[in-house]
Amino acid sequence: MSKHHKHRGYGAQFSVSPKEGLTLEVLAMAEKAGAKAGYAVAKEELYRSISSNQFLNEQETDELLAAAQRAGSAAALAAARKVLDKTLRTSFSHHHRPADSHLMGATTPEPPANTYEEPLAKYSPPLGLLDTPRAKVDQHVLTITRVQRLNDQMVRLSASAPNLDGYRSNSALDEYVKVFVADPALGLIPPYDVRALRHRLPREQVPRSKSYTIRWVDPVLNELAIDFVVHGEPGTVGHWAGMAQPGDPLVISPARSKASLTLNASYYVLAADEAGLPAIAKALEALPANAEGTALFEVADDTAMFDVKHPEGVVLRWLSRDSMPAGKSSVLPSALQSLALPAGQVGVVAHAERSTIKAISRITEYWHLDKHSSHISSYWTLREGRLRR
């Protein structure tokens, strides 16, 4: 039967009592709400699994079905309560005689036998027996535990919370989150209802957000780390990161990812400026121990180098802009063009300013790249007059 057909239009036609009709209405609404909630839970979890290029094992499948069942049961109960509450306020109100009926000699006829219906009781199960559906989580609130200066331009913030405040890593190589920052003078308490704040605050006072790579997640210590480029005017995320101290909140979105990168090329070329350096550093750590290649890092000056773990067969080259503004240097494409590549499949991973990435794409166009092991993307765009992000 088509899903567009209404089941009430088929089958034997019969009349039901008001009480039976109410029961059918409650069941129909509860079934619809439960199915919708269970579908939403399963869909969200499956999309998360697909986006991270993973397949659910038997245990994860059972957990998904159990979560969908709990959400469906809770939603069905909530829908039933809604119908019952509405009915109790309308259908079961007492009908009184008019105030002046005794003056007119009017009499109230006795109700026919067997027509009285007991008002439905409002059932509220103990909280311990009710699995309420969890609202969609938009933000996780952690507390900064360590601040590590990598160089003058970059800082690593480590943050923790019990069970990471519900944050779940998607285990993707390009796992990233949005970081939310609010003006401390406003006294806003995270998590922030950004949509509501847009309606009552001037645009410049609404919490800012920006995407950052998750460097690592330690589920044992309930801790994660993010590397930030320290720059920008007061109120920007970069400026906040430079001023952050242990004890400050770190407000992040759920885990996200875009690329399905597999590290199986015979030779790798990795390239980034400061904004893309955390993602490239994470890729370097994920390479096989016997991997070979070259990593090109564009930084402000010769003092900006810091320790980056990498396989012995990958050569690190730090390229100084000599204090030239970020996004206006050509040192990264020039170094890439001068590379002598070995024979075999080459994988390229590059993250930098948009114009730099365009130049890199033109250079690598004839390299016969291993497309599954390559990912070239812009991480930011230079706009004149807005060098500070």
Give pLDDT, residue 4: 45
Sheet holding 293-299, edge to edge: 314-320, 293-299, 267-272, 346-353, 375-380
Please report whether residue 387 resides in a domain. no
β-pair partners for 140: 252
β-pair partners for 295: 270, 316
Range of the structural domain that residue 274 is part of: 267-380
The verdict on 229 and 271 lying in the same domain is no
Please report whether residue 70 resides in a domain. yes
Residue 282 token pair: 């994470």
The verdict on 233 and 333 lying in the same domain is no
Q: Can you say whether residue 247 is alpha, beta or left, with left for phi > 0 and alpha for psi between -120 and 50 degrees?
A: left
Q: Whole-angstrom Cα distance, residue 210 to residue 198?
A: 17
Instruction: State the average pLDDT over residues 25-51.
Output: 69
The verdict on 231 and 288 lying in the same domain is no
Give pLDDT, residue 55: 60
Domain boundary among 30, 59, 81: 81
Q: Whole-angstrom Cα distance, residue 151 to residue 248?
A: 21
Give pLDDT, residue 216: 95
Give pLDDT, residue 50: 60
The verdict on 291 and 224 lying in the same domain is no
The verdict on 239 and 284 lying in the same domain is no
Residue 4 token pair: 């567009």
Strands 314-320 and 346-353, sheet pairing: unpaired
One-letter amino acid at 123 equals: Y
Beta-carbon contacts of residue 2 (< 8 Å; ≥ 6 apart): none
Q: Give, for 156, the enclosing helix (H) or strand (E).
A: strand 154-160
Instruction: State the average pLDDT over residues 320-338.
Output: 91
102-156: per-residue pLDDT in tens? 444 444 455 444 433 334 333 333 434 333 444 566 899 999 999 999 999 999 9
Please report whether residue 127 resides in a domain. no
Give pLDDT, residue 139: 96
Q: How many domains does the chain have?
A: 3
Please report whether residue 337 resides in a domain. yes
Q: Whole-angstrom Cα distance, residue 354 to residue 108?
A: 84
The verdict on 283 and 349 lying in the same domain is yes
The verdict on 202 and 272 lying in the same domain is no
Q: Whole-angstrom Cα distance, residue 210 to residue 180?
A: 7
The verdict on 359 and 297 lying in the same domain is yes
Q: Whole-angstrom Cα distance, residue 117 to residue 186?
A: 56
CA 235, 236, 241, 243 dihedral sign is negative
The verdict on 302 and 216 lying in the same domain is no
pLDDT at 277 over 70: yes
Please report whether residue 135 resides in a domain. no
pLDDT at 273 over 70: yes
Q: How many CA atoms lie within 13 A of 256 on its CB side?
A: 14
Tell me the CATH number at 187: 2.40.30.10
Tell me the CATH number at 312: 3.40.50.80
pTM of the entire structure?
0.64
Asked if residue 179 lies in contact with residue 251, where contact means CB atoms within 8 angstroms, the answer is yes
Give pLDDT, residue 290: 94
- Please count the other Cβ atoms lying within 10 Å of the Cβ belonging to residue 49: 16
Please report whether residue 122 resides in a domain. no
Q: How many CA atoms lie within 13 A of 252 on its CB side?
A: 29
Q: Whole-angstrom Cα distance, residue 10 to residue 30?
A: 20
Q: Which residue has the tokens 């952690």?
A: 142
93-102: per-residue pLDDT in tens? 444 444 444 4
Longest C-alpha distance within the chain, in Å?
111
End-to-end CA distance of the chain: 56
The verdict on 235 and 190 lying in the same domain is yes
Q: What percent of the chain has pLDDT over 70?
A: 70
One-letter amino acid at 62 equals: D
Q: Whole-angstrom Cα distance, residue 268 to residue 284?
A: 10
3-state SS string over 50-110? Answer: HHCCCCCCHHHHHHHHHHHHHHHHHHHHHHHHHHHHHHHHHCCCCCCCCCCCCCCCCCCCC
Domain boundary among 224, 252, 280: 252
Instruction: State the average pLDDT over residues 170-177.
Output: 93
Please report whether residue 113 resides in a domain. no
Domain boundary among 81, 104, 129: 81
The verdict on 242 and 296 lying in the same domain is no
The verdict on 324 and 282 lying in the same domain is yes
Please report whether residue 365 resides in a domain. yes
Instruction: State the average pLDDT over residues 271-275.
Output: 96
